[in-house]
Amino acid sequence: MIEESLQQYMKALSIYEKIGNKKSSMLVLSAIAGIHRMLNDYDRAIYYLEKSKVIAEELNDFNVLSRTYYELGAINMGNGAYDKALEQVLKAIEISHSNNWIIIETYAMYAAANVYIDGFQDFDQAEEYVKQALLMTEKYDIPAIVLELQLTLAKIHLGQKRYKDCDELASMVYEMDTVNIERRMNASLLIIDANIFLGNQAKASSFLNNYKNLVNQFNKDGLHQSLSEMEVKYKTEKKDLRVADMEKEKVLGIVGGGLLLSLLILFIILHRLAVAKSKMCEQQVIQVEQEKQIVATQAALDGETAERTRMARDLHDGLGGLLSVVKLNLDDVEHLQNARDTLDKSIEELRRVAHHMMPESLLRYGLKAALEDFCLSAPNVQFDYFGDDSPIDDRTAILIYRCTYELVNNAIKYANATTIQVQLYQDTDRISLIVEDNGCGFDTETVETPKSDVSTGMGLGNLRARVAAGKGIMDISSSPGKGTEVHVKLPLS
């Protein structure tokens, strides 16, 4: 059917061009471009749209011109040519606004918002266009695009980290739209992402199940539609065969057999496409599950870090202060010298524990100073720092410090290392930590995680999970008798 329409349009274009009817030629060119876009032949679609645009500019037909710019922008956005797409949709907005063509302007604003989201990650600018378009739909009663605009606004809120707003808006679209399965799938993904970041695991899990069901329904409906279309086409051809002349029965039988073969091939292609789409959706579900696990892990680590900070402060400022007062009150009592000595050791131990839980130098002076203090306090540890010394976010700094502490501690206590080298490399977009020792080493193939300090509960497996939660990687190189080298790499936001 599509091919027949295309043939008819091409014939009409040839006639209109011969008689010099430019307006009709322009409209047919736009129609031909639309068919090529349906067939995903974007290069041909752009070719015919550009030819239509030339005629529209010549005839000063601003209605066709604005729609043509909008179509070109939409195609270039799909091709990833965002600079060109933005220029074209903004031109569509300008022309349609000047001529008061509200519907074209609304759709062009929707397209501009998506260009800013996908091409430039400029969520604030995208929000401005969506809000303007929503105001126009209210003023001029244009309900067709409202849900799509609201879903886009929810996507913008997710990019702005306004997770509660994203959840509320996407949930509203999900409830209101009971017809469009694809839109409900997109709304479900936004709800899942927002609730993962909000820490609402129950709602995220619930909508993950909804998403899986929608994916299955989407694939099932698509396959049923394809089968129905093939059945109708087959019955039509069968009827034609019955009413045909008996003299042509043999020829028509051959044609019918060829048609059935073609339908079988088409069915196989459609089935493969459905399977491929199903696999793609399953991969999206797996990715969502992984993101959910990473965010949950990171939330737990953040909670642990906050608790460590609080406990360190309470130990240092609260209990430490009380012990210091006791010591001062015992200064003039000679026979309590042993008690004073014991208190001195207690205060020193208290400060040591508080320092290792959350060092004061890390909170006050940054990562480099904290690592220098720690390496100076540990035996046989050499610390070197390279690269940019600009401040980094607290989460990454604490993670690097804890990794250094645990790796050095393990090398001293369990690897019997006599030399430990700690190197920190900081660049503008990433930071790398290398801890190398000459200890006893271990077989990385047979030993998953060497023994760790019981007081910290931090084996290499735990460290690897923490690094992964920070979107980094940890490489371990070791063998018995040849020491160990651990390389931790983390991105800097």
pLDDT score for 223? 45
pLDDT at 399 over 50: yes
Band the pLDDT of 34: cuts 50, 70, 90.
confident
Of 11-25, 155-169, 340-354, the poorest mean pLDDT is in 340-354
* DSSP character at residue 390: -
pLDDT score for 346? 60
Q: What is the DSSP string of 75-128?
A: HHHHTT-HHHHHHHHHHHHHHHHHTT-HHHHHHHHHHHHHHHHHHH--HHHHHH
Class of residue 195 by CB neighbours under 10 A (exposed 0-12, middle 13-18, buried 19+): buried
pLDDT score for 359? 64
pLDDT score for 433? 94
Residues 408-420 have pLDDT tens digits of 988 988 888 999 9
pLDDT score for 226? 45
Class of residue 199 by CB neighbours under 10 A (exposed 0-12, middle 13-18, buried 19+): exposed
pLDDT score for 63? 87
pLDDT at 171 over 90: yes
Select the more confidently predicted residue: 150 or 311: 150
Band the pLDDT of 326: cuts 50, 70, 90.
low
Select the more confidently predicted residue: 86 or 353: 86
**How far apart are alpha carbons 254 and 246 in whole angstroms?**
14
CA angle 101, 105, 109 (to 5 degrees): 175
pLDDT at 193 over 60: yes
pTM for the full model?
0.49
| CA 401 to chain CA mean position, Å | 28
Band the pLDDT of 265: cuts 50, 70, 90.
very low
Which secondary-structure segment (H or E) carries 431? strand 430-437
pLDDT at 483 over 60: yes
Residues 355-364 have pLDDT tens digits of 555 566 676 7
Band the pLDDT of 351: cuts 50, 70, 90.
low
Within 13 Å and on the Cβ side, how many CA atoms surround 274?
18
pLDDT score for 315? 54
Secondary structure of residue 436 in the 3-state scheme? strand
Of 24-28, 107-111, 167-171, 201-205, the poorest mean pLDDT is in 201-205
Select the more confidently predicted residue: 366 or 294: 366
**Rounded alpha-carbon distances, angstroms, from residue 310 to 176, 347, 367, 406:** 46, 18, 19, 20
Residues 105-124 have pLDDT tens digits of 999 999 999 999 999 999 99
- Most trustworthy range by pLDDT among 251-260, 338-347, 449-458: 338-347
Asked whether the beta carbons of 108 and 93 are under 8 A apart, the reply is yes
pLDDT score for 328? 56
Query: In whole numbers, what is the pLDDT of the chain averaged over residues?
Result: 77
Select the more confidently predicted residue: 286 or 467: 467
Select the more confidently predicted residue: 67 or 222: 67
Average pLDDT over residues 139-148: 85
pLDDT at 93 over 60: yes
